[in-house]
Structure 1
Amino acid sequence: MKIALAQLNPTVGDLSGNCQKILETVNRAEQTGVDLILFPELILCGYPPKDILHREGFIEACDRAVDRLAAQLNPEIGVIIGHPTGRDLPEGRIANAASLLFQGKVDSQIHKLLLPNYDVFDEQRYFRHADRKQIKPISFQGLKLGLHICEDAWWRQPDTFYHNQPFELPDPVKILAEAGSDILINISASPFEIDKRKRRHQIVGAHQDRYSIPYLFVNQVGGNDDLVFDGHSFVMDSSGDLVLQMPGFREDLQYYETSKTADAQLKEIIALSREEQLFEALVLGLRDYMQKCGFTDCVLGLSGGIDSALACAIAAEAIGPERVHALLLPSRYSSDHSVADSLELAENLGLDHETIPIDSVHLAFENLPVIGEDLKLEPAGLADQNLQARIRGANVMVRSNQHGWMALATGNKSELAMGYCTLYGDMAGGFAVLSDVFKCDVYRVSKYVNQRAGRILIPENILEKAPSAELAPNQVDQDSLPPYDLLDGILKGLIEDERSVKSLAQEYPPETVRWVAGRLDRNEFKRRQMPPGIKLSARAFGSGRRMPMAARFQWDEE
């Protein structure tokens, strides 16, 4: 049997657009003599559909779209698609389903059993668990297909919800293998995290060790809101050898022939560096967010610092430099080199750019009644520094509103964790592209940008100078924050590993750990108001990390 794996980029809710994409892919694959085509989880409506699933008539529209699609396809080719369904279920209940479309109709259908309810996943809010009695292979052209959906392959894997559930759920892969499946097929919408491809290979490899059955994994690709899906679909043969490896971060269509397994050429896994993975995910996430929201251009403030420089480079790669509009907004505290560095960056990248000094607006505030008196009490104090950031944010938003450009916020994860950012100032924008990138990684990815281009895009001076907000005389970040290598290590422990102060104090200076932990908790209210960003780590600020704002936790009493 010749099987096609279709790694596609759907748009959430766009049933007609996604169906058209499926039809075009099937037509391409048909020319190769394919027998069966696999599409990702919920490809019909895109993943994650969230509360669109609750809209009146949406599930019925999905079921009708499946029927229309089945009627439009070549009846001699099997097509497996993921979709939500309410058909033949109790009133008001829906399932995360996969259907085999064949001979003009839905030939077979299975439902997802393991519904993830951790991190960014909230599937038990929407779907019912599959009936365990219905977990069995489906037949197609003399083969038994062990079809299952995404999390169904992650039964009792570490760091998932299912290793500590209060009730027992069976292992879908075990059931399918023991029922005589000739091929195991997993259709997924598995979001990107650093090195997640390696983890998927380990999980599938563990199934291979137990059952020695060819395993096909097809994954969604593209950005939807704060999630990026990296694709990297693959096939392992019955010996556990990787015989097909699809690329990451782009759509693709490739083929696997069951009869050629013994002669298949083994695929070498080309490991991407941390910097490559981050860059590819950031570019894809920004590009898709803009395109799927209807933006063609973006605008941002260019400070001469490393964060805005990297944000510019990512945007230029994502949508083209001619569609990136940079504003240089020097204040009375801006250094000459910051302006020069910004101009050099803009010219290196080929950006549209304008210089708009903000000192006259700053002076106007100082001359206002009441407000001006407050500012004179502590020149270059916190209120004055935040005012400058807000003046800059207002300039960016004027350009955004007037021209319909998306405003890009440039703060990184380290700054957002510490509250070293200004509400309605540098936090203003429609998308926070670096919100899940620690400061040390900002530097690493920036160096990779130059390495990848084979020339200097981000000026060396930006990479080498001490980071500074330049909102007060002779200001540098390390006046207010610990060194970033120290800070990022502590933050990773607190945020991504959920470690305690007591535990981290055995590795880092205890007073610094306590101070960082306190600042992290106190600034949750700022992060609740930040623009959406791109999830890159196991614990990103946003939908996957739900911390209270009005709360008190005494780290010293833990």
Structure 2
Amino acid sequence: MKIALAQLNYHIGNFSGNLQKMLEAVAEAKSRGADLVVFAELATTGYPPRDFLEFDDFIRLAEDSVEALARAADGIAIVVGSPSRNPVPEGKDLYNSAFFLEDGRVKAVQHKTLLPTYDIFDEYRYFEPASRWQVVDFRGKRIALTICEDIWNIGNENPLYTRCPLDEMMPQQPDLVLNLSASPFDYTHAAERIRILKANVARYGLPFFYVNHVGAQTEIIFDGGSMVAAPDGGIFDEMPYFEEGVRVYDLDEVMQGGVHREQPKEKIPLIHDALVTGIRNYFHKLGFRQAIVGLSGGLDSAVTAVLAAEALGRENVRVLLMPSQFSSEGSVTDARALARNLGVQYDLIPIEPIYQQFLDALAPHFWATPFNVA
């Protein structure tokens, strides 16, 4: 069996765009001989959808995306994350679900069990946790479907939870585990994910296929790093950070193990790439192309200008130099030099006359106070 991991940059609420990306990935995976392609948690909606989940039209559009992907599941199976409706009135209205699509239909649905409600996460506000677990039979293999946090309570040792989904599935004797994730970036988190994956492999002795989001959703950045862990505990492969891509893995080769491929995890390059990704995606997903940056000649604005030029292209960045009586000649010189080195347009607008007009206009109201104290 060949399994494809599709590490994609989704856009919250852009159902047509997200669907088109996934259909293209399905076609690519199929052309490369994959039997199964796996997408990330809540891939149809983008993550985190937050209060959009309260709107019926939003859920209906997610359902339409799943139906369209099911039609594309011809000669290849698809696993995709999407919200699903709770059919009973008790509990929350929705589940956070993994859909297994095959032969033009929904073959199975597994809901997420462990719903994080900390840090950036607020999933229990919207979703009902799973209370049933069922592996999926596919081409002679039994597949355990899990979603993100479901693999982070190893042996039920996490005090936030009382269930361990994989422990619940083990009596059904799965052959492999798929994990659909939405795990955000921090510069230590990639190493922590690998630790968690290796701990799961050590406990269950199964291969794990883990797929993550990549790209920025306003203030939240996803770094990718999707990976495959072999039963021998090695990381068979780790996909690049901050890049979209589709990779296909032969399950027999993964089972053999003996391979260890991790991406470098140097702190400063990771932070740099996260910042560039965040700026670029924020602008592009909101329909903006150009930025204006105030350039003082100091370190903070210099770093901002460099990152903006890299993220948006130097032709899309314009900087303003606004010297006053408090500016040193060196700061103006440095700002000009940086603008020229970056190849960005710059404008010099002395603001001392404007500043003096404010002082003159406000003088009657501050006549008895010392200068620089309001």
**Same fold per TM (> 0.5)?**
yes
* Structural mapping, 1:51-200, within 5 Å: 51-71=51-71, 73-86=72-85, 88-90=87-89, 93-131=93-131, 134-155=132-153, 163-165=158-160, 169-200=162-193
> Structure 1 or 2: larger strand share?
2
* Structural mapping, 1:305-384, within 5 Å: 305-368=298-361, 370-371=362-363, 373-374=365-366, 377-379=369-371, 381-383=372-374
What is the match of residue 16 of structure 1?
A: 16
What is the match of residue 210 of structure 1?
A: 203
Aligned-pair CA distance for 1:191? 0.3
Does structure 2 conserve the Cα–Cα contact (< 8 Å) formed by 1:7 and 1:220? Answer: yes
Q: Decide which moves more: 260-269 or 244-253.
A: 260-269
Cα distance in structure 2, aligned partners of 1:271 and 1:78: 32
Give the SS at the match of 1:363.
Answer: helix
Change (3 A) 1:157 1:227: farther
Give me the CA root mean square deviation.
Answer: 1.9
Does structure 1 conserve the Cα–Cα contact (< 8 Å) formed by 2:232 and 2:258? Answer: no
Cα distance in structure 2, aligned partners of 1:349 and 1:177: 57
Cα distance in structure 2, aligned partners of 1:283 and 1:157: 38
AA in 1 matched with 2:187: I
Change (3 A) 1:204 1:375: farther
* Structural mapping, 1:169-318, within 5 Å: 169-261=162-254, 266-318=259-311
Cα distance in structure 1, aligned partners of 2:261 and 2:250: 19
Cα distance in structure 2, aligned partners of 1:375 and 1:184: 73
What is the match of residue 38 of structure 2?
A: 38
Aligned-pair CA distance for 1:156? 6.1
Aligned-pair CA distance for 1:59? 1.2
Provide, for residues 112-157 of structure 1, a one-character-per-residue CA deviation record: whole Å limited to 9, x for no partner.
01000001100011111112xx212111111111110001111169
AA in 2 matched with 1:207: N
AA in 1 matched with 2:366: D
Aligned-pair CA distance for 1:262? 5.3
Does structure 2 conserve the Cα–Cα contact (< 8 Å) formed by 1:245 and 1:269? Answer: yes
Does structure 2 conserve the Cα–Cα contact (< 8 Å) formed by 1:41 and 1:187? Answer: yes
Does structure 2 conserve the Cα–Cα contact (< 8 Å) formed by 1:13 and 1:45? Answer: yes
- Bigger relative contact order (CA 8 A; separation at least 6): 2
Does structure 1 conserve the Cα–Cα contact (< 8 Å) formed by 2:97 and 2:109? Answer: yes
Cα distance in structure 1, aligned partners of 2:354 and 2:281: 36
Q: Decide which moves more: 204-213 or 84-93.
A: 84-93
Give the SS at the match of 2:240.
Answer: coil
Cα distance in structure 2, aligned partners of 1:31 and 1:367: 72
AA in 2 matched with 1:86: R
Does structure 2 conserve the Cα–Cα contact (< 8 Å) formed by 1:297 and 1:324? Answer: yes
Provide, for residues 155-194 of structure 1, a one-character-per-residue CA deviation record: whole Å limited to 9, x for no partner.
1699xxx8334xx521112222342110011110100011
Does structure 2 conserve the Cα–Cα contact (< 8 Å) formed by 1:63 and 1:87? Answer: no
Long gaps (5+) in structure 1:
384-558
Aligned-pair CA distance for 1:351? 1.2
Give the SS at the match of 2:211.
Answer: strand
Change (3 A) 1:156 1:213: closer
Cα distance in structure 1, aligned partners of 2:270 and 2:21: 26
Does structure 2 conserve the Cα–Cα contact (< 8 Å) formed by 1:95 and 1:112? Answer: yes
Cα distance in structure 2, aligned partners of 1:278 and 1:197: 12
Provide, for residues 90-130 of structure 1, a one-character-per-residue CA deviation record: whole Å limited to 9, x for no partner.
38610101101111111110000100000110001111111
Aligned-pair CA distance for 1:244? 1.3
Change (3 A) 1:41 1:30: same
AA in 2 matched with 1:144: R
Give the SS at the match of 2:249.
Answer: strand
Does structure 1 conserve the Cα–Cα contact (< 8 Å) formed by 2:234 and 2:258? Answer: no
Give the SS at the match of 2:320.
Answer: strand
Does structure 2 conserve the Cα–Cα contact (< 8 Å) formed by 1:81 and 1:99? Answer: yes
AA in 1 matched with 2:319: A
Aligned-pair CA distance for 1:267? 3.0
Cα distance in structure 2, aligned partners of 1:329 and 1:343: 11
Give the SS at the match of 2:215.
Answer: strand
Aligned-pair CA distance for 1:378? 2.6
Give the SS at the match of 1:57.
Answer: helix
Give the SS at the match of 1:108.
Answer: strand
Cα distance in structure 2, aligned partners of 1:355 and 1:163: 57
Aligned-pair CA distance for 1:60? 2.3
Long gaps (5+) in structure 2:
none
AA in 1 matched with 2:96: N
State the TM-score, normalized to the length of structure 2. Answer: 0.95
Aligned-pair CA distance for 1:263? 5.2
Cα distance in structure 2, aligned partners of 1:222 and 1:270: 17
State the TM-score, normalized to the length of structure 1. Answer: 0.64
Give the SS at the match of 2:326.
Answer: coil
Count of residues in Structure 1 that have an aligned counterpart in Structure 2: 373
Cα distance in structure 2, aligned partners of 1:157 and 1:180: 17
Cα distance in structure 2, aligned partners of 1:74 and 1:212: 30
